[in-house]
Structure 1
Amino acid sequence: MSSIPTFLLDDCGPPQSPLLTPPISPKVPHYTLGLSVKTASPTLPRHPTPKHLLTPANHVDNEITNTKALPPLSWNNFTTELNWLNVFVICGVPAIGFALACYTPLRRETLLFSIFYYFVTGMGITAGYHRLWAHRSYNASLFLQYYLAITAAGSVQGSIKWWCRGHRAHHRFTDTDLDPYDAHKGFFYSHVGWIMLKPRRRVAADVSDLTKSAVVRWQHKYFVPLLLIVSFAVPTLIPWYFWNDGWGGYVYAGIVRLVFVHHSTFCVNSLAHWLGETPFDDKNTPRDHFATALVTIGEGYHNFHHQFPMDYRNAIKWYQYDPTKWFIWSCQQVGLASHLKVFPENEVRKGQLTMELKKLRETQERIAWPAPSHDLPVVTWESFKKQSATRSLILVSGFIHDVSTFLDAHPGGAHLLTKYVGEDATAAFFGGVYDHSNAAHNLLAMKRVGILLGGMPMALDELTVPPSQRLKIAEYTELFAYAPSSDGCAIPASPS
């Protein structure tokens, strides 16, 4: 063992606590059988394998490799691979509804009630299925839970448990083969195609929290009678009782309204992954757009939602259309909802800033910039003077610039530049003669062809960095300093 220098020991001082005594091994028991005595071998404790070793490096690839998918749809197997009940709901119900509408007068009262009932049943999906149960973005009173469970049944989109399992899988595996409505498979597929097909893969999603809910279990058990009552009986009976238009209520508030609710919800899976911008993240397809929000009762700010799915809001700005957000907020005001989750504003802004910087970076990369300092040759004063005899070279802030092509374009006239050829024009350029604009500084930097040996300040300051580069967007790996190139004696041709 190597000795430790005395001065280190003096600085450290004596230990403040005594050394730990190693634990004493327990005595191994002896078992006596007749005259024979044997020592039992100690059993070593078995430690579970660390979870990070059990988790595959890429869960999606692992699932795809180890799960068997149904064959692609074709003319040979479409009779067995289509979900014919869903095909009827998606194709047959609209055909019946719009055919009946052609022979059914639409009364003003029925129209207004149909619009109202569209929001009632649609909000059961957006505020109930989606934001309450799928993402648990707020807590709802027992009364509100039953209300949302009942009204959502009128949208005929499956029970809470079924709907949330698929939606949680969508968020977990967005834009992959494990995504139930993968947007990469086309607009039609993500809109309605996935519903009419039997699931191609069995994808796991944790809904154990939902199975513990008495409301979820009750709705799942009585979903079919709830569906028939809320989707067809109620919109028929109310118009019949109040303004004697039961048939009109059945057609418009029942069937036609159901078609609009269906496609309103489906647009979240299709239109919201196709139309709009990505202000928070562009890793996947979800996008924000006002038009999508209009047709989805506020679910159109989908890029925000996929970044912050636990947030009870979809729209974070006051002028953005999100009636579901205001419904939940109103329920909180009257005591029906609580614990509304809002993602930290700092992290939201951080996501926005990331995308803004990324766009600026893309713009920046389309612009020509001065040659990096470490790519320029280092030239002695003697060499600079010698080469200035044949080229219009001037020195500013330690950089050598070739202004040969700019003499005639100089606003002050060629003679102002000519008299500084082969000289240091730093003082004149920085206000000694004229206080040059930012554009002049940027243009001058583009004419750099060399660095004067010993003539450039060690630190980058306003004399060496042009205004256009003082806030330049840099990747993390670009923030490290570069060593200057070796000394040279020849100045390359002007970049201009």
Structure 2
Amino acid sequence: MGVVGACYTKLIWETAVWAIAYYFITALGITAGYHRLWSHRSYNASVPLQYMLALAGAGSLQGSIMWWSRGHRAHHRYTDTDLDPYNAHRGLFYSHIGWMLVKPRRKPGIADVSDLSKNTIVRWQHRHYLMLILAMGFLFPSLVAWLCWGDAKGGFVYAGILRLVFVHHSTFCVNSLAHYLGETPFDDKHTPKDHIITAFVTIGEGYHNFHHQFPMDYRNAIKWYQYDPTKWFIWSMQKIGLASHLKIFPENEVRKGQLTMQLKRLRETQESLVWPSNSDDLPVVSFDSFQTQSQKRPHILISGFIHDVSTFMDEHPGGAHLLVKFVGKDATTAFFGGVYDHSNAAHNSLAMKRVGVLHGGHPHILDIAKRIPPSQQLKVARYNELSPNYASSTAWSEEEEPRENTLVNKL
């Protein structure tokens, strides 16, 4: 209908500017009003601001505050399940618009909206919703264009009908695109993701992974450079006294979420790498046997480990002659600065050449820095991989100190 109307209606620049402006006004009615104020109670709004947001939201034709918020609260409570009205697991089309066109398998999950039932402005908008959508969705944008520059038809087509198409799909993208495109920097249990493209098409609602973890935070974007005009609108309303009590989740807890995901990805990287053999997996060799074997293959003793350097002789940066003079001998002192202070890469590479452990140990075997290569001195460990008594009980005696949980084990 909007496309057909546009084919027979000339677009003048005043109407184009008004259509864009009214798009943002009505979109903010959804993002700052329906979503962050009434669905999540992320800030307090004065009565004038509530009326403005209620009217702007009605102009977007997306249902009343009561209806919209009930569905959205169910979406958060039952994310990615059949009780989620916009279940992303049912496909991109379904979560975008199909949920309104296809009869759902079951009714959305129960969500408490008793607080909204007590709000006089919410009840007023719900009671007069049909009248308000006609007034704010079509009459108001047409009236402004007619009174200000005499283009009632253009106001109706561009600021009314076509504007609604973009506002609708902008909101729909929060339910669809924001669950498919982007990254999961705070949690990957469910589908919500963060992406700047989604943020641009949804007036700042695209940092959806953050939002699902911290839904009562008035922000979606926590960095100053991230696109979230809704956040800045709410902040501006606070500065002029129309909003207050803006809720911000503690940064300490936000960073914990980020750290958890970073550790998880580090763990995945850690498990994808090949690591040197542990001493328990290597044969124990006497010193005499070590020297005998060194006559057949170039073996060097460093920090109690026997290393086969046959494949490295011609690649050694200092020349093969430096290795040859230590074949069948202990090169620990030379390797740890006696001849050259080797890099971390050299230590890591050396550990991969282990073929045995010297019987009886070595004077340096208790020195972790000389026994554990740099790449293994920090390790991401799962909770159940730590010491057996790590948290065997939730209680402790007066003589015992409570242990702290950790995901990184420093060897």
TM over 0.5, yes or no? yes
SS at match of 2:368: coil
Query: Which residue is 1:327 aligned to?
Result: 233
Query: Which residue is 2:46 aligned to?
Result: 141
What do residues 104-138 of structure 1 show as CA deviations (whole Å, max 9, x unaligned)?
Answer: 00111111111111111110100011000111111
SS at match of 1:449: strand
- Mapping 1:92-491, distance limit 5 Å: 96-202=1-107, 203-456=109-362, 457=364, 459=366, 461-480=368-387
Shift of 1:460: 5.5
CA contact (8 A) 2:5 2:157 kept: yes
Shift of 1:445: 0.5
What do residues 239-281 of structure 1 show as CA deviations (whole Å, max 9, x unaligned)?
Answer: 1111111111011111111111100000000111111111111
CA pair 362-442 structure 1, distance change in 2 beyond 3 A: same
SS at match of 2:379: coil
What do residues 343-395 of structure 1 show as CA deviations (whole Å, max 9, x unaligned)?
Answer: 11111112112222222332333322111233223333343334333332211
Aligned partners of 2:316 and 2:365: how far apart in 1?
30
**Structure 1: any 5+ residue segments left out of the alignment?**
1-95, 482-496
Aligned partners of 1:289 and 1:426: how far apart in 2?
51
CA pair 459-475 structure 1, distance change in 2 beyond 3 A: farther
Aligned partners of 2:384 and 2:310: how far apart in 1?
36
Aligned partners of 2:316 and 2:40: how far apart in 1?
64
State TM-score, norm by structure 2. Answer: 0.90
CA pair 445-295 structure 1, distance change in 2 beyond 3 A: same
Aligned partners of 2:260 and 2:278: how far apart in 1?
25
Residue 229 of structure 1 aligns to which amino acid in structure 2? A
CA contact (8 A) 2:82 2:105 kept: no
Shift of 1:478: 3.5
Aligned partners of 1:265 and 1:106: how far apart in 2?
25
SS at match of 1:324: helix
Aligned partners of 2:101 and 2:209: how far apart in 1?
26
Residue 124 of structure 1 aligns to which amino acid in structure 2? G
Aligned partners of 1:409 and 1:272: how far apart in 2?
50
SS at match of 2:187: coil
SS at match of 1:472: strand
Shift of 1:454: 3.3
Residue 369 of structure 2 aligns to which amino acid in structure 1? E
Residue 103 of structure 1 aligns to which amino acid in structure 2? Y
Aligned partners of 2:102 and 2:342: how far apart in 1?
68
Q: What value does the CA root-mean-square deviation take over the aligned residues?
A: 1.6
Aligned partners of 1:395 and 1:131: how far apart in 2?
65
Aligned partners of 1:258 and 1:325: how far apart in 2?
22
Aligned partners of 1:479 and 1:363: how far apart in 2?
19
Structure 1 stretches of 4+ moved >4 Å:
456-460
Residue 372 of structure 2 aligns to which amino acid in structure 1? V
CA pair 478-371 structure 1, distance change in 2 beyond 3 A: farther
Aligned partners of 2:194 and 2:149: how far apart in 1?
41
Larger radius of gyration: 1
Residue 334 of structure 1 aligns to which amino acid in structure 2? I
Aligned partners of 1:186 and 1:391: how far apart in 2?
60
Shift of 1:472: 3.4
Aligned length: 386
CA contact (8 A) 2:365 2:371 kept: no
Aligned partners of 2:251 and 2:192: how far apart in 1?
20
What do residues 197-232 of structure 1 show as CA deviations (whole Å, max 9, x unaligned)?
Answer: 234312211111111111111111111101111101
Residue 380 of structure 1 aligns to which amino acid in structure 2? S
Residue 373 of structure 2 aligns to which amino acid in structure 1? P
What do residues 300-346 of structure 1 show as CA deviations (whole Å, max 9, x unaligned)?
Answer: 11111111111000011111111100110011111111111101111
Aligned partners of 2:205 and 2:145: how far apart in 1?
29
Aligned partners of 2:171 and 2:318: how far apart in 1?
66
Query: Which residue is 1:80 aligned to?
Result: none
**Structure 2: any 5+ residue segments left out of the alignment?**
389-411
State TM-score, norm by structure 1. Answer: 0.75
- Mapping 1:48-127, distance limit 5 Å: 96-127=1-32
CA pair 458-281 structure 1, distance change in 2 beyond 3 A: same
Residue 296 of structure 2 aligns to which amino acid in structure 1? T
